[in-house]
Chain A
Amino acid sequence: MRMERLDEAVKVRADFQGGRVAPLLIKRKTQDLKVHQVTARWEDRRGAHKIFYFSVQVPSGDVYQLEFHSGDLTWKLNSVMLDG
């Protein structure tokens, strides 16, 4: 297993039903990553706004750490843990 830092702004298709955010698809510059499973979620605060963090597993087995900023409604890929 190897961790790589990404710090990359991405577009995400997400489900906001029931007051809970669930990322479904991550659109990177060159590829679309379907979210297979949200393995963990937690929250932090930056100033007045909440930041939602997600660990999401894609079908290849890699786990991405995704961040959603509730202030400006932007998504960011922080890092990836490569499987194998």
Chain B
Amino acid sequence: MGEENPVRDAGTPPDAARSTAVPRPAPLENSVPAGRVIAHVDLDAFFASVEQLRFPALRGKPVIVGNGVIASCSYEARRFGCYAGQPLTEARRTCPGVVILDGCEAVYDAFAGKTFALCAGLSPAMETFLDEAVLDLTGCGRLHGDLHAEAAALKETIRREVGLPVTVGLGPNRMLAKIAGKSVKPDGLRWIREDEIETVLPGLPVDRLPGVGHAVGRELARMNVRTIGDLRAFPVELLERIFGAPGRRLHERCRGRDTRPVEAREVPRSISRETAFHRPVTDPDEAAGMLYYLQERAVRRARELGLRCRTVQVWIDYTESGRAAASKSLFSPSDRDDEVFRLARLLLFRLFTRRESLRRVGLALSHFVVDAAAQDDLFDHAGQHKRERLYRSLDGLRSRFGHSVVVAGPSVRLLGKMNRDRNGFVLRTPSLTK
């Protein structure tokens, strides 16, 4: 399957093109696929791998990064049954000799950044997440030649330059690229081609499909759907009736169809920060202090990206009775700490009503508008600019000397109760949201 000669103009008849005798580039037989090619690059057991790289004594041993719950665990720990999100108390029982580390956000950010910079050399169309990158390689065969060899070379370069193992999956769309990668983890490389979909996909467990989480998986198990092939037997109308709008997506995905584009998200969908408390908290002011600190970090990130948020969501985890969450929109989009916190505090006190201690708190900002496009306040122009100057100055100080150079607002209540380093308060669970 070769692509058309790119030299020939689309409007030119074939004969005319031949007669002009324009020199053609050498054909890249079998190496240039005609359709889409997406690569999914995944850093294997990312945080644990970084720790094993830094500390050679940990190599080959079960390693967990996390505090309270597992954020990442090495493949040695996974063999004992450990998994991301598992409570550490349970992980200690499952894997007695495990080494547990708190982790360091700044170090992981640096390693991810270095890896993604190498990935960007393969294709300009790249979307990155915390520990994975999706690259659109469509048409790049003309530049790189054999894309499989190029992906293998990228793996090798990352291993050499960064020191971390990655798994690369290639496929005709995002979903199949991810499934290809998942099937050869860790440190693997696989390409599922268009003509292999019918042989590969139907036999896979249904939970390999994106969108099949715990809840959907349980429902499908109840329907006796075990494999992707089993799911194909259900008509789209029935899936829609059972799962709502995601039912149609499931119907498409189980047939290997996924039209999502790869696009660098300049405007993120949300910016969130959350952490677990070092000990259960009953004092609402202390919870508000932590919420202010998390809000400061999230809003500062929004300001760095030149964004104002409209919606604020707050969630809390009670020690016994689980999670409570609420969200509300601001009157007008804002990138000011005082405005966002006023709403976040309101939501916190609306949620924190039970006589029970809190284990975790978090907030998310969403529905962003670009700063330049936002409507200014018509009546308090001077006051608004004064506040903006204040936050710009604070951001400048913090990026130069570290976030903890200024402790402001209700987060002052955390002083003396929590350790601080250059990057701010040392949180129990590092906030690693991208």
Contacts and interface: CB of A to CB of B under 8 A. Distances in A.
A47 B398 CA distance: 9
Interface in B394-431: 399-402
A81 to B, nearest CB: 5
Contacts of B107: 42, 53
A39 interface: yes
B110 A63 contact: no
B277 interface: no
B55 interface: yes
Interface in B52-86: 53-58
B57 A42 contact: no
Nearest to B399: A47
A63 B111 contact: no
Contacts, number: 43
Report, as a range, how many residues of chain A touch the other chain: 10 to 19
B106 interface: yes
A55 to B, nearest CB: 4
25 contacts: A1-B55, A1-B58, A1-B99, A39-B54, A39-B56, A40-B50, A40-B54, A40-B163, A42-B107, A42-B111, A42-B114, A43-B110, A44-B110, A46-B400, A46-B402, A47-B399, A47-B400, A55-B55, A61-B57, A63-B54, A63-B56, A63-B57, A65-B54, A81-B54, A81-B55
The prevalent SS among residues of A at the interface is strand
Contacts of B401: 46-47
Given A42-B111, A47-B400, A55 B57 contact: no
A72 interface: no
A80 to B, nearest CB: 11
B233 to A, nearest CB: 50
A39 B114 CA distance: 16
A68 to B, nearest CB: 14
Interface centre among A39, A46, A61 (most CB of B within 10 A): A39
A83 to B, nearest CB: 5
B429 to A, nearest CB: 18
Nearest to B402: A46
A42 B114 CA distance: 8
B423 to A, nearest CB: 10
Given A40-B163, A42-B107, A44-B106, A1 B57 contact: yes
A62 B401 CA distance: 30
B56 A57 contact: yes
A37 B56 contact: yes
B57 A40 contact: no
Contacts of A37: 56
Interface string A40-84: 101110110000010101000101010000000000000001010
A-B pairs, 4 with minimum CB distance: A42-B110, A55-B54, A47-B400, A40-B54
Contacts of A63: 54-57
